[in-house]
Amino acid sequence: LGRMDLIDESVNPAEVIPADGVVIPVCEVSVPEGGTAFDALTAAARAEKVRVDYNGSSYGVYVSGIGYIYEFGFGSLSGWMYRVNGEFPSVSVGSYVLSEGDVVEFVYTCDLGADVGDEYYGD
């Protein structure tokens, strides 16, 4: 929410941004054995009636939008990332198989992850 000055309203109209910044509140979902982080997202989104836009390719699943908030809506380095148990996995969200008790979070970055704690690209 502190980056609203970067919003591209042709991609993300300001009215789709929740006042508290939370699209899907913290919740508990069940996924079948072998379920992925993407399965957890879609289960939570269904429960909360939130739209998820994604693309699949040979590289895996890429989440381009959650709750009408899309990639590049806050600049060329913005989009959705996910973390499991506080760590940013280096595999597609559709390839990360969850274990019981895992905590999955989807966070929106405006700076290729640097602003949400991902240190992959360094400074």
Per-residue pLDDT of the chain (123 residues; tens, 9 = 90+): 889 989 999 999 999 999 999 999 999 999 999 999 999 999 999 999 999 999 988 889 999 999 999 999 999 999 999 999 999 999 999 999 999 999 999 999 999 999 999 988 765
Contact predicate 46/63, CB 8 Å: no
Please, what sign has the CA dihedral across residues 90, 91, 97, 103? positive
Q: Supply the pLDDT for residue 120.
A: 81
Q: Is the pTM of this model over 0.85?
A: yes
